[in-house]
């Protein structure tokens, strides 16, 4: 198996939009308007180019169908794997849950790295909302910056994944969309220690979880095959 993500001295394999015509809640109206703003102009440009003959209609239709079916790659880097509907959590104490010896979804935590302990060991997450989290797989090795850009940027909240949701992701095991074969699963979350994005990550080796965190600004690469949550 190829070289996995490095952290410090350790190695871990880290359809057309329609305007609603019926009454909807204010939040729904805002959401629909945001989607129309995001996609509307692009869809018009796409149809214009197909109509003027500068894009081939049949391959474009095939590409759109692949997107609808969830089979697409973004930025030549991230392949869409799927999504997870994760539950709301009123209070999540990292130290109580991420502890060597604890069992998550039938697997024991065998090791937790110093970086994870330092940056997140005393974190308590309150009122974590339910969320759909998207899962992506790297199709080639990459630094963190291009991945973060595709997910929305360092200042976009959905680029980050709550540790309560990371825990649920691990807990799902075979029912989730993570790699359980030695490759890394990772996400991004700002550290309360320095206020910048760090990279909590986990993998399964010898039937046990290994958990660590790496710096998103340090020039280490994640391997192709590793999976990332967010966006």
pLDDT in tens, 52-90: 999 999 999 999 999 999 999 999 999 999 999 999 999
Is 134 in the same domain as 160? Answer: yes
Is 111 in the same domain as 175? Answer: yes
Question: Which pLDDT score, from 0 to 100, does residue 5 have?
Answer: 52
Question: Which pLDDT score, from 0 to 100, does residue 39 have?
Answer: 82
Is 178 in the same domain as 109? Answer: yes
Is 101 in the same domain as 49? Answer: no
pTM of the model: 0.84
Is 133 in the same domain as 208? Answer: yes
Is 44 in the same domain as 67? Answer: yes
Query: Which one of 43, 71, 99 terminates a domain?
Result: 71
Question: Which helix (H) or strand (E) covers residue 164, if one does?
Answer: helix 163-172
* DSSP bridge pairs for 201: 186, 212
d(CA 67, CA 69): 5
Parallel/antiparallel/unpaired status of strands 208-215 and 107-112: parallel
Is 122 in the same domain as 221? Answer: yes
Query: Which one of 17, 50, 71 terminates a domain?
Result: 71
3-state secondary structure of 192: coil
Q: Where are the beta strands (DSSP E) in the chain?
A: 5-7, 10-12, 73-74, 78-86, 89-93, 103-104, 107-112, 124-128, 131-138, 185-186, 189-190, 197-205, 208-215, 227-229
Is 132 in the same domain as 213? Answer: yes
Question: Which pLDDT score, from 0 to 100, does residue 30 have?
Answer: 65
Question: Which pLDDT score, from 0 to 100, does residue 27 have?
Answer: 52
**What is the domain count for the chain?**
2
Q: Does some domain include residue 14?
A: no
The residues of the chain scoring below 50 in pLDDT are 1-3, 6-13, 15-26
Is 96 in the same domain as 183? Answer: yes
Q: Does some domain include residue 134?
A: yes
Is 31 in the same domain as 123? Answer: no
Q: Which domain holds residue 138?
A: 76-229
Query: Which one of 71, 100, 135 terminates a domain?
Result: 71
Closest CA to 186 of 174, 175, 197: 197
């Amino acid at each position: 198996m190829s070289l996995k993500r490095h952290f410090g001295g350790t190695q871990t394999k880290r359809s057309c939009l329609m305007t609603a015509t019926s009454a909807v809640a204010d939040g729904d109206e805002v959401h629909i308007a945001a989607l129309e703003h995001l996609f509307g102009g692009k869809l018009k440009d796409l149809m214009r180019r197909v109509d003027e003959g500068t894009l081939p209609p049949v391959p474009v239709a095939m590409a759109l169908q692949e997107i609808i079916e969830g089979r697409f790659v973004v930025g030549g880097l991230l392949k869409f794997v799927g999504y997870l509907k994760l539950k709301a959590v009123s209070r999540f104490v990292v130290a109580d849950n991420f502890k060597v010896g604890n069992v998550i979804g039938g697997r024991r935590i065998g090791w937790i790295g110093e970086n994870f302990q330092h940056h997140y060991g005393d974190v308590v997450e309150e009122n974590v909302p339910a969320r759909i989290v998207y899962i992506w797989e790297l199709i080639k090795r990459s630094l963190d910056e291009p991945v973060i850009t595709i997910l929305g940027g360092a200042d976009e909240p959905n680029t980050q994944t709550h540790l309560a949701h990371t825990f649920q992701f691990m807990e799902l095991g075979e029912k989730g969309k993570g790699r359980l074969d030695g490759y890394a699963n990772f996400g991004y979350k700002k550290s309360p220690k320095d206020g910048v994005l760090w990279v909590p990550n986990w993998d399964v080796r010898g039937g046990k979880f290994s958990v660590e965190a790496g710096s998103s600004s340090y020039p280490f690469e994640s391997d192709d095959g590793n999976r990332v949550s967010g966006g």
